[in-house]
Structure 1
C-alpha cells in the first residue's frame, strides 16, 4: 500500500482528537469490548464543549432480509465520552419499520480510518472504459 492508502489507527482514549480527525462520510473499522471488528460510516461528529461530551454517530449499511418485507433494517452506533480522556461508550440502535432496539456494546477499544473506503476525493488513475458503438 502507498502512504495515502494505509489505514490510519486513531487513539480511542482521546475523544476530542477523534472528533477532529474524523468527518462525516469517513469509513472506519471499530472494535468494542463486546463487538468484533465492524466497518461503519461516520454520519455525525460532535466535538466536546463545556455543555456536551465528544460524540460520534456511525451507521452500518442497511440490511434487508426476506423476513422483513416492510422495509430495511438500519443500525446506528452512538459513541459518547463521559470525560475528555476516557474511552467512548458505544450504544447500538437498530431500527426496523416495526420496532427499535437499543443495547450497549461496550467501550471503544480500537478505531481505524479506512482512507480507501472514505469518500474524500482522490485521484483516479484508472483508464476510462469505452465500448465500441457496434457492441
Structure 2
C-alpha cells in the first residue's frame, strides 16, 4: 500500500501542475458552471474542509509560493485517506457530471516535503 494519495487532473496545467480535485471543482464553481445544488455543495463542503483540516498556506504562507516551492501540491496521507476520500467523493461526482477528467494517484515518495500535518503533505515533485 502506498503512503500518499492524490486526486488530480491527468494533464498538467499551463503552470506545469496537475490541478487537484478541489481546484478543479472550484474552477467550475467560480466560472458559474455548476448547478445551484452543486454550487451549494461546493461552498458548504469547502467550508467544512477549511474548518476540519489545517490549510497549509495559513501555517506557512510560502508553502504554495511558486518562486519558493515551484509546482507544490498537496497529497492525503493514506492513514487519513479513508475518511478524506469519502469526504472528497462529492467533488469527484461533480467532476464526473461535468465531464472533467481526473485520476487517483498513489505514491510512497511524491516529492520533497515542504509541509506536513497528520492528514496531508505538501510536496514539490522531484
**Which category describes the TM-score, using the shorter chain as reference length?**
under 0.3
Larger Rg: 1
TM-score where L is the length of structure 1: 0.21
TM-score where L is the length of structure 2: 0.22
Higher RCO (C-alpha 8 Å, min separation 6) = 2
More strand by share: 1
